[in-house]
Copies of this chain bind each other. A is one copy, B any other.
Amino acid sequence: MQNSEAMALSAALLAAAGELVQRIHEGVVARGFEGLRPAHGFAFARLAPDGATVTDLAVHLGVTKQAASQLVDELVRKGYVERRPHPKDARARLVVLTGPGWACTRAADEAAAEAVGAWSDVLGEAEVRGLREALLRIAPEGPVRPAW
C-alpha cells in the first residue's frame, strides 16, 4: 500500500461519511424537523431504545457531561426529549424521547435508508452489504462523533 493510496482512501472515507451525514440531515429537515443539528441525531441514537442518563450520553458523544447536559436542555426546550426520575438511582435522571423525538428518529432512519439506497443504485445491493461488513470489521469501536 503506497502512501498516496492510503490518502485517497482516507479522503474517500471522509467524503462519504460527510455526504451521508449531510444527506440524512437534509432528509430530516425535509420531513419538517427544524432547529436540529447532526449531533442531536447522534444523541437520539443513544436515547432511542430505553433512554439514557446524561453521563451515558456524554460518554457516547465523547464530550463532557456538562456539554451533554446543555444538549439535553436544548432538546427538552424543543420538545424532543424529557427528563424523568431514574427508577434505580435518585441522583440520576433518565432522559427519554417524547413523541416528536420518536417521530424525528424515524424520519432520520428513513432519510438514512434513502441516502444508502442511492448508493445501492450505483454499487448494487450486494456491494453495499459488503461495504457495511468491511467497515464493521475495521472500526467496531470508532468514535461516534468524530471531532475535528
Contact = CB atoms under 8 A, between A and B. Distances in A.
A75 B123 CA distance: 40
Contacts of A38: 148
Contact of A115 (B6, B37, B147): B6
Interface stretch (A49-57, A65-73, A81-89, A129-137): A129-137
A116 B6 contact: yes
A91 to B, nearest CB: 30
Interface SS majority for chain A: helix
Interface residues of A, number: 61
A45 B1 contact: no
A18 interface: yes
B112 A7 contact: yes
A111 to B, nearest CB: 9
Nearest to A132: B9
A59 interface: no
13 contacts: A1-B128, A8-B132, A9-B116, A10-B20, A13-B13, A14-B17, A15-B141, A16-B138, A18-B143, A18-B145, A21-B146, A130-B134, A145-B148
Interface of A: 1-22, 24-25, 37-39, 45, 108-110, 112-113, 115-117, 119-120, 122-123, 125, 127-128, 130-132, 134-148
